[in-house]
Structure 1
C-alpha cells in the first residue's frame, strides 16, 4: 500500500509510539517486567475509590447518565465544566478567565497536535514557522507532532552541578535567540522528562520575550498547577492573556478518560475548538462529568493535597535513596527532582548511548526511557543528549527498589567494561 506523506510520517516509528508500545507490553503482555518507563500515573486506591463513587452517582441518575452517554458536547466542550473551572481559577489565582477562555480536547496529546499545528508549520506566505523549546530536553510526545519538517527549534540548557550528586537545568538566556520563524515558546512546568521546574523569574523573562516578539508562551502544566500539583510548592501558577496553559486530567489518575484542557484567550480557544471539531467532532464527556462539583466544593484540591501529592512524595524519596545507595563512584547525576514523578539520570561520559543502555535493561526485565528522543530540536551533536535516562517512580514500592537496583548494576557493568 502506498501511503501519503502524512501516512509515512505518522505510521512510522516514533518516540511516543515506542513508549506506548512498551507500556502495553509491561501492563498486559508481560506483567513480570518492571515498568519504569512511561507517564502512567500510580494506582492510588483512595483516589480511584473517590472517582468510582462519582461514577456510581452519575450512573444512578437518569439525567446525568444521559449527559454522559447520549449527548454530543458543544465544540469547546462541556459548558458546565468550563463554568466551574473558570470560577475555580478566578477564586484560586484571581485570573481574569471565563468559560470562553477554556476549551476541551480528547487528551492533551491531541490538544497539542491541534494547537501546535494551528501556530506553526507552513505560514500563508509560504514561510516556515517553528515552535521553540527554550529548555531542551522536553516531552518526547512533542517530537513527531508537527505536520512539516523542521517543526521545532530549541535552546540547550545551562547545567548547574549541585551537592549530593544532583544537578539542575536552567534556561540559558544568553543563548536564547528568537528568529522571525518562531511562532510560540513552549515549556513544560514541571518538566517531563526531568522534573525540573522553571523558576518564577525564568517564566517572567520568557513571558517578556514572547510579548516583545508578539508570540504566545505555552505552558504544559500536565503535572503541575492547579492539579495535580506535583510541583515545588515555591512555584507560582502562571497565566495571562498572552499565554496558553495546557492541562490534563490524566495525572489525577484518569489517563483512560482522555481529557485535555486549554486555557487561553477567546481568540485561541475559538480557533482551537473549530479545528478540534474537524478532527474529533466532539469531546468526550466522562472526564468533565466526573469532576463536576469537585472544583466548587474543594474536594479536588483536597484529593490532590491529601492523597496524590503524598503518594508521589514518598516514592520520590524512595527512588532517590535507591540511586544514592547503589551509585558508588559512578559519575551518575540526578536532576534535582522538583516536580512530576520522574528521576532524570545524567550518566556522564556514558561509554554507550542511552538507547543501547535501554535495550540492555529491557533484556534484564526493567523498562526505562532513553534520553535520546527528548532532546527535540537541539541537534544530535551534543554528547549530553546520549547520556540520560528517564525513570518513573509512579509504580509500587515492589517495582522501584528492584528496578533501580538493576539499572545501577547495569551501569556499574557498563562503565567497568570500558575502563
Structure 2
C-alpha cells in the first residue's frame, strides 16, 4: 500500500493517537490499568443523571426527537442553540455577539484541525505561515494537526519556583518575538497540560501583540469559562472581535457527543463553517440539543458550580496531598494547579527521559502522559522538556491514591539508581 504525503503524516503514530490508544487499552484490553493519562472527564453521577433526564425528555418529544436524529443542521449548527448561547454569553459577560458569531463542530479536535489550517500552512504566495504558541508546553493534540511541515513556532516559558515544592510558568514577553510568518497566537486557558492559567494581564498583552500584527488570538477554553469553568476565580473571561474562543462540551462530562464550539467575528465563523462542511458535511445535533434550555434557565451553570467544580477540587487536593506525602527529598515540583484536572510534575534532573519513565510506569500498571510531546515548536533540545509528566486526577479516589503511590515509588527507584 502506497500512501500519499497526507496519508503518511496522519496515519503515522502521534502523541494524540498514542494517548487514545492508551485510553482504549485501559477501557477494554486491560481494565486493571490505572488510567491517569488522558483528558477523559470524571464520572460525576449528578451530571450524568441531569443529562439522562434531558435525553429522555428529547426522546419523548416527537419534534425534538426528529430534530436531533433526522435532520441535517445548517453549516454553522443548530440556530436555536446558537441563539441561546449568544444570549447566555451576552448576559454573563456583557459581550455583544449573535448567532452569526458562533459555529458548531464535531468536537474541538476536529475544529482545531480546520481552524489552524485556515490560517497556517502554505500561503497563496508560496511561503509558509505558522501558529505561534506563546507559552510552550501546550496541548499534545495540536502537534500533528497541520497539513504542512514547520507548522508551529513557540516561546519557552519563564519558570517561577514557589513555596511548598510548587512552580509556575509565565509568558516570557521578553523572549516572545513574532515574525511575519506567524498567522495566529494560540493559548489554552486553563492550560492543558499544566493547569496554568494565563493571567488577565498576560491575556491583555497577548491581545495587543496579536492586534499589532493583524493576526487573531485563539483561546482554547475547553476547561475554562463559561463551562465547565475549571479555572481559578481571578481569571476573567475574554473575547473581542480579534479573538477566536474555542469551547467544548466534553469536559462537562459529554466527550461522547463530540461537540465543539467556535466563537469569532462573523466572517471567521462563516469561513470556518464552509471549510468544516467540506470535511464533515454537517455537525452533530446531540450536544446542542442536550444543552437547549439549560443556558437560558441557568441550570447548566448551577450544575458546574454545585457538582462539577467541587468534584475536581476534592480530587485535586487528594492528588496533591498524595504526592506531597510520598515526595520525601525527591526534586519533584508540582505546577501550581489553577485549572483543568491535571497535575504537571517537573522531575528536575530526571536521570531518564519522561518517555522511558512512562514506559516503566505502564509496566507497573499506571498510565500517565510523558511531557516530551507537549513542548511543540520549541524545547526539544531543552532538558526541562524531558523531565515532566501530566497526571489526570479525574478518576475515582482509589485510582488516584494507588496510581500516585506507584508513580512516586518509581520516581524514588529511578533517582536512587542514578550514578
Which bin holds the TM-score, normalised by the shorter protein? over 0.9
Offset of residue 51 of structure 1: 0.1
- TM-score normalised according to structure 1 size: 1.00
Offset of residue 399 of structure 1: 0.1
User: In 1, are the aligned partners of 2:132 and 2:185 still within 8 Å (CA)?
Assistant: yes
Alignment match, 2:131 = 131
Is residue 265 of structure 2 the alignment partner of residue 265 of structure 1?
yes
Is residue 174 of structure 2 the alignment partner of residue 152 of structure 1?
no
Residues 367-400 of structure 1: CA deviation (Å, up to 9, x unaligned) = 0000000000014110000000000000000100
Is residue 247 of structure 2 the alignment partner of residue 254 of structure 1?
no
Residues 184-238 of structure 1: CA deviation (Å, up to 9, x unaligned) = 0000000000000000000000000000000000000000000000000110000
Matches within 5 A, 1:2-401: 2-401=2-401
In 2, distance between residues paired with 1:136 and 1:204? Answer: 18
In 2, distance between residues paired with 1:379 and 1:392? Answer: 23
Offset of residue 335 of structure 1: 0.1
In 2, distance between residues paired with 1:410 and 1:346? Answer: 15
User: In 1, are the aligned partners of 2:156 and 2:379 still within 8 Å (CA)?
Assistant: no
Residues 160-180 of structure 1: CA deviation (Å, up to 9, x unaligned) = 000000000000000000000
SS at structure 2 position matched to 1:50:
helix
Give unmatched runs, 5+ long, in structure 2. none
Could you tell which deviates more after superposition, 24-33 or 253-262?
24-33
Offset of residue 63 of structure 1: 0.3
User: In 1, are the aligned partners of 2:185 and 2:215 still within 8 Å (CA)?
Assistant: yes
Residues 391-416 of structure 1: CA deviation (Å, up to 9, x unaligned) = 00000001001100000000000000
In 1, distance between residues paired with 2:261 and 2:367? Answer: 30
SS at structure 2 position matched to 1:316:
helix
SS at structure 1 position matched to 2:175:
coil
In 2, distance between residues paired with 1:140 and 1:264? Answer: 24
Aligned length: 419
User: In 1, are the aligned partners of 2:106 and 2:284 still within 8 Å (CA)?
Assistant: yes
In 1, distance between residues paired with 2:105 and 2:371? Answer: 28
SS at structure 1 position matched to 2:218:
strand
Give unmatched runs, 5+ long, in structure 1. none
In 2, distance between residues paired with 1:252 and 1:174? Answer: 37
Offset of residue 313 of structure 1: 0.2
Residues 287-319 of structure 1: CA deviation (Å, up to 9, x unaligned) = 000000000000000000000000000000000
User: In 1, are the aligned partners of 2:155 and 2:378 still within 8 Å (CA)?
Assistant: yes
